[in-house]
Amino acid sequence: MDSFLKDTAKSLLGSGRELKDLVVVLPNRRAGLFFLRYMGELIEEPTWMPEVRTVEQLFSGLAGETPSDDLSLVFEMYEVYRQLQEEAESFDRFYFWGELILKDFNDIDQFMADAASLYRNLSEIKTIESDLSYLTEEQVALISQFWSSFREQKPEEKEKFLRFWQILGDLYQKFNAHLDVLGLTYSGRIYRKVASKIKELNPPAKHHVFVGFNAFTKTEEVLIKHYIKEFGADIFWDIDRYYLEDRRQESGLFFRDYRKDPVFGKTFPEIIPDRIKDKAGVIQTHALPLKVNQANLVGGILEGLGPDEALEETVVILPDEQLLFPVLHTLPGQMTKLNVTMGYPIRNASVYAFLDAILDLQRYLKVREGEVFFYHKQVLDLLALPYLQDANRVFVKEMKAQITSTNALEISAVELAKGGELFGMIFRKTGSTEIFDYLSSLMTALAMQLKEDVIQSSYLFQAYKLLNRMKENFAKSSLEGIQTDFFIKLFRQLFREVKLPFEGEPLEGLQVMGVLESRNLDFKRVIICDVNEGSFPPGGGINSMIPFNLRRAFGLPVQEQNDAIYAYTFYRLLHRAEEVHLLYSTAANQGKAGEMSRFIQQMQVEMGISKPNTVLLEAHLTPGREISMAKTPDILQSLNGYVVQGDPSNHKKKLSASAINSYLDCSLRFYFRYVAGLKESEEVASDVDAGVFGSILHKAIELLYGIPESTTERLITVHNIKRIKEQIPEYVDEAIKDFYGKKKEDKINLTGQMQIVREIFVDYIQAVVDYDYKTGDFKVIGLEKEHHASIPVAVDGEVKPIGLFGLIDRMDIQNGTVRLLDYKTGKDNRSIESISSLFDREHKKRNKAGLQTMLYAYLYQFANPANQKPIKPGLFNVKEIFKKDFNPFMKVDKSDLEDYSDFREEFEEGLSRLLAEIFDPEVPFEQTDDEEKCRYCPYKDICGR
């Protein structure tokens, strides 16, 4: 197929000039590669090729300078800023402003604006904006109602604010002078240097040809006009009548101005190509539900390519680099040759995730009494990555289990360093002055581990180069007191910008590229993805400290020019295309519905292209179905493990009140947890949720009423309750330490939330003690004590003992009655409608806590068969304990439950009958019909609920 660059090559070959005497200047290097290929195809005999350069290379060659990197320039700008600003901001606060200022300086020079006049105007605008003297007192009072800080700005703060805007003009001048001394520069300064001395340029030794340009900066315009006017240079325009003649078309904005220019106007061809107007029939638009679905459609379109078609004549344009890998994964198998012009961002690599986690680790460390501790979340994030697992897999597994089982919020560096050399290198404290050596040593160690992984090694090498560049800049500067947080923030920003280029033959195979990389290139088949408003053209404005009106007034680029550049890039791809596919997504993004690009809408109105082809993807959703687990021989074998052999206390598998309640709520949930053994994943509880609250409360009361080791009971009298009450805060602290895996002698550092909760613990326990004081003396006979038992159940025609167990919070004897008390932090009810209701799964208000306390009574009586004392179960519900008429004991049918033996026979029959159902081979495990019970079930995803 013919292309603009090929036609240009033909024209130059037919011009009669020697190719070796030509310099062809193009917008980018990629266009130069294609130009030389076309030139090679057209040349029939050996000859010297023309010199091909980019416009940047032309300016750098004329100035004899190359631009420095932005990081170095911001460092040097800060040095000048500190000289101008009396109370200068710290470098970490200045850096991100410095990037913006440097960009503005570049624009000012590229477009040859008067910097002194511009910044003087900017300073005056800010002064006017900050002057509120024109407001009346009533207006000030009204505004203050909605803006609380309106009156609060101190005069010195206002002065400092205005001073910043006042120094920008001086900063520009002195910064440029500073760069002259250091021999550094930025691209805009190079351009301005060349353009300002345009008349001093010597005639070039070779004839220059400018090819395929659209939007010139002022400096480029000055240089190219001079070359055309004074040195007879040629220029080739890649244009179309469709947007050149129509003033409504933003894509022709610059060309219409150039056509009127006395120098440029003469270079335009007499006959303007008119190709786009006839393209309506070859353009297809596709609306897809999700952005990622576009990759599948791209793969489908490419499947239709014939075996003899040249792949290099097809291009896939990706305005969003996030689509790169989805597209690569959907390419047809016959696509053996591929050229990707976009780099792969290092932020998507696992190496970046590892380095980022290491930096995060330093942000949350704490030092107490000379020992370094790291927060559990960052430690677990690092342990989850493959690099530490490869270094010591056994240690990583054990450490993760230890952290979750002990609920350790912080882990000492000493413990973590036991994993080996790499662990010791990572888990240590590093200051801002050591952070470069810290990261450098880690990258070196990681490189040894990644010898076989070429891709990750390449990412690591790019990151290592960037780290060294940063280190050099910081070493040369005189900065002091830089915070570690700033280093981390800077590392993250710079690492995210690093991209790894793909290796390949740029002139062969399917072409996959970004929008601006397609300049000057023509393709037979064009597939453009993500043609959504806000993506192509991109949304947002120009990041600048110079407001819109001043930018326009001083000839600096504004959003209108940016839109025109992208519009031209879009329409230019249509010039010679024979098949065009425009893909956009309809999915909402950030609260906005997916909208097709204005380019598509324009073509629908002006060219009459067909309406979008809505691509409906089949969603193969498996409909929710009832799950029923028949009791297979394997399941019955697993259930048989609950049949007690010998002493129940020595038997391994036993059922608890939680297991029985789980079966009544949903027998399938019981199967998952207690038969199949699917345990919930353990996580470190950093917040004080209900589970944490209950655990600490139980432990504190256990310590408070603890029985001495040498005895089996402890008498609590109203006299020693007063002494016990004074010890409550001490035992609460000890319980908190125990929960978080601390030793008794360790110091406790409470967070703000835990400090508040600690006071609540103290109040609750004091209320428990107050109740005990009112009811008189009692004898504690057990605290947090496990009880084991068995109950005869009919299984397969035989009566077998099924194991039971429970942890009774408190057992005491008062006035000849055994009291079994359970501490509850929820909304548990003490009223039991009837014993039979405890086993009725259809009962809407079935009392789970009631079943638990009755089971505890059974367990106690089983363990103490000679007991003749009444057994009285009860609930210490901390949410009711402050009521004047508080009574912890259970009621059955609205009457106080004075003795378990009154209901023992009925309860044991009901329990045995329920357990017989669990072991019945004919009764499957099934989902509950009440989906409300599924809301907090850990297995609801398995059921699809």
- Mean pLDDT is highest, among 58-67, 480-489, 615-624, for 58-67
Q: Which two tokens stand for residue 861?
A: 């009586």
DSSP character at residue 672: I
Residue 655 phi, psi dihedral angles, 5° rounding:
-95, 140
Return the higher-pLDDT residue of 497 and 7. 7
Q: What's residue 281's pLDDT?
A: 92
- 622 pLDDT exceeds 70? no
pLDDT tens digits, one per residue of 17-70: 999 999 999 999 989 999 999 999 999 888 899 999 999 999 999 999 999 999
Q: What's residue 150's pLDDT?
A: 45
Question: For residue 559, what are the CA distances in angstroms to 121, 368, 438, 547, 570?
Answer: 21, 53, 43, 12, 17
Q: pTM to 2 decimals?
A: 0.73
Return the higher-pLDDT residue of 607 and 492. 607
In degrees, to the nearest 5, what angle opens at C-alpha 732 toward C-alphas 730 and 738? 105
Nearest CA to 408 out of 2, 717, 738, 804 is that of 738
**Cα 208 to Cα 204: distance, rounded to the nearest angstrom:** 8
pLDDT tens digits, one per residue of 829-856: 889 999 999 999 888 889 999 999 999 9
Confidence grade of residue 746 (pLDDT, cut at 50, 70, 90): confident
Cβ distance 477 to 470 under 8 Å?
Answer: no
* Angular region, 407: left φ>0, alpha ψ -120 to 50, beta rest: left
Residues of the chain above pLDDT 90, percent: 56
Which long-range contacts (C-beta less than 8 Å, at least 24 apart) are formed by 197-202? 198/222, 198/223, 198/226, 201/62, 201/226
**Cα 460 to Cα 463: distance, rounded to the nearest angstrom:** 5
pLDDT tens digits, one per residue of 239-274: 999 999 999 999 999 999 999 999 999 999 999 999
On average, the pLDDT of the chain sits at: 88
User: Whose structure tokens read 């947007």?
Assistant: 243
The mean per-residue pLDDT over the stretch 312-339 comes to 89
pLDDT tens digits, one per residue of 64-96: 999 999 989 999 999 999 999 888 888 888 888
Q: What's residue 481's pLDDT?
A: 62
**Cα 720 to Cα 711: distance, rounded to the nearest angstrom:** 18
The mean per-residue pLDDT over the stretch 276-284 comes to 93
pLDDT tens digits, one per residue of 851-878: 999 999 999 999 999 999 999 999 988 7
Q: Which helix (H) or strand (E) holds 234?
A: strand 234-236
pLDDT tens digits, one per residue of 769-802: 999 999 999 999 999 999 999 999 998 888 999 9
Q: Which two tokens stand for residue 235?
A: 């220029």
Return the higher-pLDDT residue of 544 and 127. 544
Nearest CA to 631 out of 790, 841, 795 is that of 795
Q: Which two tokens stand for residue 513?
A: 């590229």
- 591 pLDDT exceeds 70? no
pLDDT tens digits, one per residue of 432-470: 778 888 889 998 888 888 887 877 888 888 888 888 888
Question: For residue 475, what are the CA distances in angstroms to 58, 69, 72, 468, 784?
Answer: 33, 16, 11, 10, 61
Which long-range contacts (C-beta less than 8 Å, at least 24 apart) are formed by 372-376? 372/412, 372/413, 372/427, 372/428, 372/429, 373/410, 373/411, 373/412, 373/413, 374/410, 374/411, 374/412, 374/413, 374/416, 374/427, 375/409, 375/410, 376/403, 376/408, 376/409, 376/410, 376/411, 376/684, 376/686
Q: What's residue 132's pLDDT?
A: 62
The sign of the dihedral angle between the CA atoms of 765, 769, 774, 778 is positive
